Amino acid sequence: MENFKYIILGAGPAGLTFANRLLALGETSFLVLEKDQEAGGLCKSKVVDGSPLDIGGGHFLEVKNRKALAFIFQFMPKAEWRQYHRVSTIRLDKSEIDYPFESNIWQFSIRNQLRYLYSILTAGSVFGKPKPENFKDWIIWKFGNQIARDYMIPYNEKVWSVNLKTMGTYWLNKLPKSSSKEIVLSYLQKKSKVAIPAHALFYYPKNFGFGEVWKRMAKKLGNKIRYNEPIESIHVHNKIINGKYHGSFIITTIPWRVVNFLPSIPDDIYQAIDSLQYSSIRVSYYPEQIQTHAQWTYVPNKSVSYHRCLYRSNFCTNARGYWTETNKKRAELHSTRHQPFWINTFAYPLNTIKKLEATKMILTYFSNKQIFGLGRWGEWEHMNSDIAVTKAIEMANAMDKKYHLL
Ligand SMILES: Cc1cc2nc3c(=O)[nH]c(=O)nc-3n(C[C@H](O)[C@H](O)[C@H](O)COP(=O)(O)OP(=O)(O)OC[C@H]3O[C@@H](n4cnc5c(N)ncnc54)[C@H](O)[C@@H]3O)c2cc1C
């Protein structure tokens, strides 16, 4: 049995940050266990057709927390990143307009301008109707029938591949609120007056894929990461992993449902873990060069399998070609004649109506046993890498402060 103060499960951004922060605080009794042969999790990149490709899907860096940004720049200095203003588009049948939809309605044909303006200006949210509790009704309430039918519902059904009525609305609170006044102003001035929800200004590495920064974080940890070590079991009472590693504290960034808990855990906790849903994404590469000013395009049309297309020459130095992101269930329905492709089984945690209740139960039960959930899967939260980094720094600081003398 090998003994450590901390055992960290998973070497994605959350696990790597937690471990590196411990190291910076002077803590050396820890081990990171990773099932893959390399680190980076969903943020990994590979060189494909001569240039980097993000095999977990398009990843762009936008960091609100200054400490998290400084932490990331320690591994990959600012000079190695290039900043871009986001240019993304929405392809709707024969039109392609800029994102976000509601502030670029003026780019459609006159007929569609009328339909979509009417839709958004007669939406339930404009008239103060109560906010619905499921995502599908929320879309109609927020954008009106026509925009819901042509864009938001088919697009979201493509991404999540579940009945949108099973998804909640609590996660939408963080989106910037656009008023009907801003939408009308954007329309009249033919210029978006609505805040872009994410990545309005983002960083992407000048000479590498997004995976490079995590590779460097992993390198700093040296032999404190064990690769090809899938976690199969956690003994919850004595905190033994796979029957051979013991930790006083376990930090888990891996999906709860892939682990066998020994000797057993209460039925309601099993049920809560079982209720956590996720969706899987296939990323496919195509070498053709598409002429566009966009970095990526959203595609709600259901006759096309993918929901997003990324033109890497618009953010990646000297690159050509593009890649697509397709929900795995839909990818299976469509041909896979285009190669190469990568499957990310755990890509998106789903924001189902009961998720908050379930995660609260799970995290409370396990934290009482000194097993702590962190990151996208440990917290089952649809968080970007900057949030995973921020939370990991905060957790490492707090634990080091509390248990330093242990
Ligand atoms: C399509 C897509 C686009 C995204 N775009 C962006 C973006 O533009 N910007 C951004 O900042 N973020 C983006 N994200 C989110 C980003 O990928 C996550 O925030 C980040 O990867 C979370 O890090 P994590 O360490 O919590 O989880 P992960 O990256 O999923 O890491 C978990 C790690 O655990 C390992 N693991 C899993 N099971 C086991 C096991 N049984 N045993 C041992 N190890 C295991 C995995 O191999 C992995 O290394 C995107 C995500 C997706 C899917």
- Over residues 253-312, the pLDDT tens digits come to 999 999 999 999 999 999 999 999 999 999 999 999 999 999 999 999 999 999 999 999
* Segments forming the whole domain that contains residue 377: 2-86+206-403
pLDDT tens column, 74-127 = 999 999 999 999 999 999 988 999 999 999 999 999 999 999 999 999 999 999
Mutational pocket test of ligand 1: of 9, 33, 42, 341, the residue with most ligand atoms within 8 Å of the beta carbon: 42
Q: Do residues 128 and 45 both lie within one domain? A: no
Q: Do residues 24 and 140 both lie within one domain? A: no
Quote the ligand 1 centre to 285 CA distance (angstroms): 20
Q: Do residues 61 and 122 both lie within one domain? A: no
218-242 average pLDDT score: 97
Cα Rg for the chain, rounded, in angstroms?
A: 22
Quote the ligand 1 centre to 186 CA distance (angstroms): 36
Q: Kindly report the number of other CB atoms within 10 A of residue 1's CB atom.
A: 8
Atom of ligand 1 nearest to the CA of 258: 41
pLDDT score, position 334:
67
388-393 average pLDDT score: 98
pLDDT score, position 196:
81
| CATH code (residue 211) | 3.50.50.60
Atom of ligand 1 nearest to the CA of 230: 42
Q: Do residues 277 and 179 both lie within one domain? A: no
162-171 average pLDDT score: 97
Q: Do residues 342 and 399 both lie within one domain? A: yes
pLDDT score, position 336:
59
Q: Do residues 319 and 179 both lie within one domain? A: no
Closest protein CA for atom 46 of ligand 1: 41
pLDDT score, position 338:
62
346-365 average pLDDT score: 98
pLDDT tens column, 168-215 = 999 998 776 778 888 899 899 998 877 887 899 999 999 999 999 999
- Give the Cα separation of 268 and 286 in Å (integer): 46
Is 200 a member of any domain?
no
- Give the Cα separation of 79 and 181 in Å (integer): 40
Q: Do residues 348 and 262 both lie within one domain? A: yes
For the cut 90, the answer to whether the pLDDT of residue 339 exceeds it is: no
pLDDT exceeding 90 applies to what percent of the chain? 89
Residue 56 near ligand 1, beta carbon < 6 Å: yes
Count of CA atoms in the C-beta half-sphere (13 A) of 168? 16
Q: What pLDDT band is residue 217 in, cutting at 50, 70 and 90?
A: very high
Q: Do residues 222 and 305 both lie within one domain? A: yes
Residue 373 near ligand 1, beta carbon < 6 Å: no
pLDDT score, position 175:
74
Mutational pocket test of ligand 1: of 59, 84, 282, 391, the residue with most ligand atoms within 8 Å of the beta carbon: 59
Quote the ligand 1 centre to 82 CA distance (angstroms): 22
Looking at 157, 189, 221, the residue that finishes a domain is: 189
Q: Do residues 317 and 377 both lie within one domain? A: yes
